[in-house]
Structure 1
């Protein structure tokens, strides 16, 4: 084959005219691509890049806003907890004050009831002592008369003995109360 190529006068080292035509066509295709295809592709890529950059910036801004909101939420939550603790402590103090007031009132009522009871007991004891002083002389003379079998009249000595007995009985009653 190489003998045939040499025989026709074609030198394989020297290019023929088809090479130059192909080279010119290749240049024209490159120029068309460079002039008409590449700018819209570059424009689309630039728009896509700008859109991605915008989304990235928006995401970064949203992330910063989220962190700020998260921090604000944590601060407000801490404030709310502190406020609830303060309110709970105030409620406890108020409840303790109310309990103390009710205890004081109850204690005062108990003291008043006890005092009235003691006064009533003292009045009843005084009435009982007065009734005893009035009835013992007659009963003792009647009993003494039955035991002896004679009529025993109550004299001053007898009345002094009864009064001494009642005084001793009253002293024992007040000694037991104290």
Structure 2
């Protein structure tokens, strides 16, 4: 009998509720949902939104910094290449200048050496000419005595006492 009372009570309560009219539980759950939604919208969403905006700004700033750094790097690279090209041109001109100056120094030294050699050759030639003249004169003067001595030895007679004029090829 106890089971029939439960079924009877359930049947009596089921006849009064209308599914189109919300009951008190639904309104209470809806009110709690709206309060939780308001709390989330008031205290949870703004910090998360702020963090997302900060991160978006940081990403944008990082991208802008990367773009600016790439531009600066490209400009620095172009400046580096220009400076290196100028330095290479300057080094080439300095090297060519040094080579030309070295050639000039070598040519000047060669010219001085040639002039000195020419002067020394001329002096040596003059000295040899003077010595040749002195020896020629000395030999011509000693030829007479040598000839007399030789003739005296060959003939056995003293020829030095007789004087015979010697004809040289220059007297003609």
TM > 0.5: yes
Q: Answer yes or no: is the 8 Å Cα contact 1:141–1:154 preserved in 2.
A: no
**2-side partners of 1:84 and 1:8: how far apart?**
111
More relative contact order, 1 or 2 (CA 8 Å, 6+ apart): 1
Distance 1:128 1:63, change over 3 A: same
**1-side partners of 2:12 and 2:94: how far apart?**
112
Which residue matches 1:9?
13
**1:122 CA drift (Å):** 0.7
Which residue matches 1:128?
135
Which residue matches 1:175?
none
**2-side partners of 1:67 and 1:154: how far apart?**
112
Which residue matches 1:149?
156
**1:13 CA drift (Å):** 8.0
**1:132 CA drift (Å):** 1.2
Which residue matches 1:173?
none
Measured against aligned partners, the alpha-carbon deviations of 1:31-79 in whole angstroms (never above 9, x if no partner) come to 2322332223212221221122122212221221122112101110111
Say which one has the larger Rg: 2
**1:149 CA drift (Å):** 2.1
Q: Answer yes or no: is the 8 Å Cα contact 1:145–1:151 preserved in 2.
A: yes
Secondary structure of the equivalent of 1:9?
helix
CA RMSD in angstroms, aligned pairs only = 2.6
Which residue matches 1:87?
94
User: Which 4+ stretches in 1 moved above 6 angstroms?
Assistant: none
Whether 1:60 aligns to 2:63 is no
Distance 1:138 1:28, change over 3 A: same
* TM superposition score normalised by structure 1: 0.78
Q: How many residues align?
A: 160
* TM superposition score normalised by structure 2: 0.80
Which residue matches 1:98?
105
Secondary structure of the equivalent of 1:102?
helix
Q: Structure 2, unaligned stretches of length 5 or more?
A: 1-5
Measured against aligned partners, the alpha-carbon deviations of 1:3-47 in whole angstroms (never above 9, x if no partner) come to 959625337982532122212221222123223322232122212
Secondary structure of the equivalent of 1:49?
helix
Whether 1:76 aligns to 2:83 is yes
Secondary structure of the equivalent of 1:154?
coil
